[in-house]
Amino acid sequence: MAEDNSRNKGAGAVPKIKGRQSQVCANPLYPCAMAGAASALAGISDMGVIIHGSSGCYYYADMAVPDTLHSTFIVQDEVIFGSADRLKEIVESVSKLYNRIAVINTCVPSVMGEDIKEILADYDTLCIDAPGFIGYFDEGWRLAVRELAQYSAVNDFAKDGKEATRADGDSVYRVNIDGVCSLDPFYKGNLNEAKRLLNICGLKTAAVFCHDTYESITHPSPYSVSVNPDYNCTDVVNRHIYGDDRKSESACSLLGLENVLNTFEELSDNLSETDVDISGIESECEETDEILTKEGDRYLRRYDPPRVAVYSTYSYTEFACRMLTEYLDAEIVHASARNNPPDQSSDVNENPYNIGGICSLHQIKEILSETEHDLIIGSSFEHAAFPDSAFAGLTFPIRHRMLYDRPVAGIQGSLYLMDKILDALENGAKNSN
């Protein structure tokens, strides 16, 4: 495996909030905190999100985040004379379109020293101070979720996770879907797959973090499944609702067949086995495992185990490494995450793929240009840097066409990823898009 000292050994994680490297940083690979806060909040369909900043900040966020955003489009005048009037003018007009408003502060307004909460005291707004200099995307996402948690409360059904919905008086458990991040190119496919899996077990979807209505998100179920643990929200939200005496469970991962099985077994244990039938999930996982094993074996009858470099957000990187080693005996020549692991307290020994923390294309180019590899899994940045290598897209940005919603999570997600990997490996760079 290529040498990557980007994570301090012993901590098992990137200890730096921003991940600044001692080496020069060129072509940073991930957006700033402002975009993270915008992604989390704009997924709430009845909440108007205003970027308090310049057109440049807005245009980027608007390109990266698929949901609607608004902006104050501040100019030099407001920096000199204050932005209060402009901010109120925009909040006033956007308030006519939404029930709730969120304002996200960018770099310059953040250092101007204006108290935007005070300026907007007459309006019902969430204010998030997420300037780009505090860190990358995940920092802003977490700040937004923490703010959102302040407004969360116990729902009618939340005490036992049940809701009387059936005409015959039976009750159906409702479960949150967590980790739905709109920057993730697979977020819609993941959401569809998670709903499908819940449905197989006779469960209903409660809140979807963060792609739901304000009412639903602030009144979640105590139980959750996660399509991407990097962007889990329920721990923060439920800690606010239940305090230290928590009745809720952490959102368990749906990345990979083993996790799918474990997650639904745990749900079944926590809920009532008689009401939650996971036999459908068990049989589908078993069938899928056979398919994946067979396809891996078929590939290995003709080719050597592939040498693969993996670059994505942490949980996706780990999942891809696990799939590659389990079904293709792959050698992970280099693996690095854009962000910190979701559980930063985990020991370094729990990082068997030695996933580093690099957020600069320059460094990836330096490492990978000296490392033989058969496949790169990453974003369009890595693909652009190594256009002749076989490539499979797994993280933002993926610039090539994605017309239908593909999952990475769940059973279908495992099939999709294996399909994509084998296609890229067998057809090489020519068909890797």
Partner 1 sequence: MNSKNSHKNISRLEGCTVIGALTVTSFVTDAATIVHGPAGCAHQSASMIQSAMLYNECYDIPEIFTSDMSEEEIIFGGEERLKETIRETVADGRYRAVFVIGTCISDTIGDDIEIVCKNASAEYNIPVIPIDASGFLGGSFEKGFISAIRGVTELIPPRSTEAEAHGTHAEPEPKTVNIIAEKNLEYEVDSNFAEIKRLLSLLGAEINTRIARRTTVAEIARFNNAALNIIRDDPTGEISEHFRSISEIPTINRFPAGLSGTIEFLKNAGRLMNLDETTIENAVNAELKNQNDMLAKFADLKGKKISFDYFGFQKADSALLDEIAERAGLRIDVDGPMITVPFYTPVGTAGVKQMLIQWRRFINGRR
C-alpha–C-alpha distance, residues 172 and 157, integer Å: 10
Q: Tell me, what amino acid is at 204?
A: K
Q: Which one of 5, 9, 10, 24 is in contact with partner 1 (CB under 8 A)?
A: 24
57 counts as binding partner 1 under rule CB under 8 A:
yes
Q: Which one of 34, 104, 128, 149 is in contact with partner 1 (CB under 8 A)?
A: 34
Rounded to a whole number of angstroms, the minimum distance from the CB of residue 395 to partner 1 is 13
Q: Two tokens at 364?
A: 């990836």
**Neighbouring residues of 199: CB distance < 8 A, sequence distance ≥ 6:** none
Residue 186: burial class (beta carbons within 10 Å; 0-12, 13-18, 19+): buried
Q: Which one of 136, 157, 319, 416 is in contact with partner 1 (CB under 8 A)?
A: 136
145 counts as binding partner 1 under rule CB under 8 A:
no
Which residue stretch of 144-152, 293-301, 378-386, 404-412 sits at the interface with partner 1 (rule: CB under 8 A)?
A: 378-386
Rounded to a whole number of angstroms, the minimum distance from the CB of residue 254 to partner 1 is 29
Rounded to a whole number of angstroms, the minimum distance from the CB of residue 288 to partner 1 is 34
Q: Tell me, what amino acid is at 137?
A: F
DSSP of 158-190, one letter per residue?
TTTTEEE--TTS-EEEEEEEE---TTSTTHHHH
Taking alpha carbons only, the member of 332, 392, 324 closest to residue 4 is 332
Residue whose CB is less far from partner 1, 176 or 395: 395
Which residue stretch of 69-77, 255-263, 322-330, 368-376 sits at the interface with partner 1 (rule: CB under 8 A)?
A: 69-77
Residue the block writes with tokens 């990557």: 4
Which residue stretch of 108-116, 261-269, 310-318, 349-357 sits at the interface with partner 1 (rule: CB under 8 A)?
A: 108-116
Q: Are 69 and 398 within 8 A, CB to CB?
A: no
Within 10 angstroms of residue 405's Cβ, the number of other Cβ atoms is 14
Q: Which one of 154, 380, 405, 419 is in contact with partner 1 (CB under 8 A)?
A: 380
Q: Two tokens at 232?
A: 């889990």
Q: How many residues bind partner 1 (CB under 8 A)?
A: 51
73 counts as binding partner 1 under rule CB under 8 A:
yes
Which residue stretch of 192-200, 225-233, 245-253, 376-384 sits at the interface with partner 1 (rule: CB under 8 A)?
A: 376-384
Q: Which one of 56, 329, 347, 352 is in contact with partner 1 (CB under 8 A)?
A: 56
Beta strands in 106-233 (DSSP E): 125-129, 162-164, 171-178, 204-208, 224-226
Cβ burial 70-83 (10 Å sphere, 16+ → b, else e): bbbbbeeebeeeeb
59 counts as binding partner 1 under rule CB under 8 A:
yes
Q: Which one of 32, 237, 281, 292 is in contact with partner 1 (CB under 8 A)?
A: 32
Q: Two tokens at 91?
A: 């909040």
Residue whose CB is less far from partner 1, 73 or 123: 73
Which residue stretch of 1-9, 72-80, 142-150, 274-282 sits at the interface with partner 1 (rule: CB under 8 A)?
A: 72-80
Residue whose CB is less far from partner 1, 207 or 364: 364
Residue whose CB is less far from partner 1, 86 or 373: 86
26 counts as binding partner 1 under rule CB under 8 A:
yes
**Neighbouring residues of 195: CB distance < 8 A, sequence distance ≥ 6:** 177, 205
Is residue 313 classed as helix, strand or coil in its secondary structure? coil
Residue whose CB is less far from partner 1, 33 or 208: 33
C-alpha–C-alpha distance, residues 107 and 57, integer Å: 9
Residues facing 8 on adjacent strands: 13
Residue the block writes with tokens 């099985």: 261
Footprint of partner 1 (CB under 8 A): 18, 20, 23-35, 54-57, 59-60, 63-64, 73-77, 79, 86, 89, 107-108, 111-112, 131-136, 359, 361-362, 380-381, 384-385, 387, 397, 399
